[in-house]
Amino acid sequence: MEQTHTEEQTSKTNLSTMDSELGDDFTFTQYLYSEEDVRQAIATNILLKNKEKTNFWVQELMQSQLINILITLILNIYITYYFPLNPEFYNYILKQTNRIRTSDYTESINAITDITNNLMIRPFTSDVLREAMRLQHDDTTSFTQPTFFGYSDIPDIDIMDTLTVEDVITHIAGDQIKPTNRKKIGTLFRNLDKLRKNPIKIAGGDIHIPIDIERAARTALIVAYSTKQKMGKALFVPPTDIQPQKNYTHSHSPDKNLQTQTIMSMSDEISFCAYDKPIHDDSIRIEGASDAMRRAFGQHWEYYAYRAPLWKHRIDEHKGTLDHDTKSIIWEDDDLLEQFYQAYGYDTDEASRETVMRCIAINMRRLSAEEFCTLIEDTQKKELN
């Protein structure tokens, strides 16, 4: 009895450690990719102009019914990388979010594809992300007044309502920006204020744009106009009409789904790279495909997949409920359990290494923000040469 009690304690400790490593929001998507990894893959492939991979990862979130997460991601990508050089794209991207939220899946996927295709023809900058990184670094190392691109004393977003946009522009750029562009900036700033104050009305849901990113993006826009940087043209690619990926259900073998439908491999994504040191080194915090993620994938996938609306619906339909202590699903009866696994049950603990590597980036880590900036900047340089 004492041994059993000790084993139970060890098991609970391991589960608690796994949960803390993965995070409270860790979610498996339709084909058991990490939702966070998919978001990173989408951002990377949009910036690198890889349409095939972008479409695949976007549809993975769409079919997992993670619509709010996808819209939030797209708007954050726009504000972080494209806003300073493509201010006139703002109204277009908001308009498309209404199409994404429609109940017609084909319309939704075409709307998001229109957005990503149009982002890929536009110039972008890593300056906003670098500035936000620098601010975070300054916040942890000193108490100096934050600066933006060499300009100090930029007003906080929360007090901008008490100032005129003209005051902000003049403080940063003096009289270097002509009146027509000042008017454009003012309109955009007011639109961002409305989005921040009422995201549900403007974009249909919370957007969660980090304050540091938004502040840096606003300032980068003013700097872009004052230094006469080349702006993206107000051109749009023709609307797309693509056939979405099939959403496999009862008529297909769930075991084969992971082998055949995980067309793109997370281990091949450029968002990840090999560790500089052997991963058994205790000094390294294993990100990406950690031991915790491997355990979640092999033994607890139903629990973490339940956080995706698609899987919640499937599990609820078969009368399954969450057990937080064991990180598992408790079924109302054995018949419903059997029906669920016949329809959807992935045999993850028996999955081949090749299959696992497509779902999660084994023994790899996600690029740091600095490495990511360098990656996209190097790509930009190659395009210019």
The 3-class secondary structure across the chain, one letter per residue, is: CHHHHHHHHHHHHHHHHHHHHHCCCCCECCCCCEHHHHHHHHHHHHHCCCHHHHHHHHHHHHHCCCHHHHHHHHHHHHHHHHHHHCHHHHHHHHHHHHHHCCCCHHHHHHHHHHHHHHHHCCCCCCHHHHHHHHHHHHHHHCCCCCEECCEECCCCHHHHHHCCHHHHHHHHHCCCCCHHHHHHHHHHHHHHHHHHHCHHHHHCCCCCCCHHHHHHHHHHHHHHHHCCCCCCCCCCCCCCCCCCCCCCCCCCCHHHHHHHCCCCCHHHCCCEEECCCCCCCCCCCCCCECHHHHHHHHHCHHHHHCCCHHHHHHHHHCCEEEECCCCEEEECCHHHHHHHHHHHCCCHHHCCHHHHHHHCCECEEECCHHHHHHHHHHHHHHHHC
Per-residue pLDDT of the chain (385 residues; tens, 9 = 90+): 444 555 555 555 556 666 667 878 899 999 999 999 999 999 999 999 999 999 999 999 999 999 999 999 999 999 999 999 999 999 999 999 988 998 888 899 999 999 999 999 999 999 999 888 887 665 544 333 333 333 344 445 454 555 677 777 877 777 888 889 899 999 999 999 899 999 999 988 888 899 889 989 998 999 999 999 999 988 888 887 766 655 544 445 676 778 778 889 999 999 888 776 544 545 444 455 567 888 999 999 999 999 999 999 999 999 999 999 999 999 999 999 999 998 898 989 888 888 898 999 887 888 888 899 999 898 888 776 6
Q: What is the amino acid identity at position 301?
A: W
Phi, psi for residue 275 in degrees, rounded to 5: -70, 145
Give me 253's structure tokens.
Answer: 């073998």
pLDDT at 237: 87
The pLDDT assigned to 12 comes to 57
CA-wise closest residue to 286 among 362, 372, 369, 371: 362
Residue 225 confidence (pLDDT) = 92
pLDDT of residue 279: 46
Which residue in the block uniquely carries the two structure tokens 């991963």?
279
The alpha-carbon radius of gyration of the chain (Å, integer) is: 23
Annotated domain spans of the chain:
2-46+252-374, 127-229
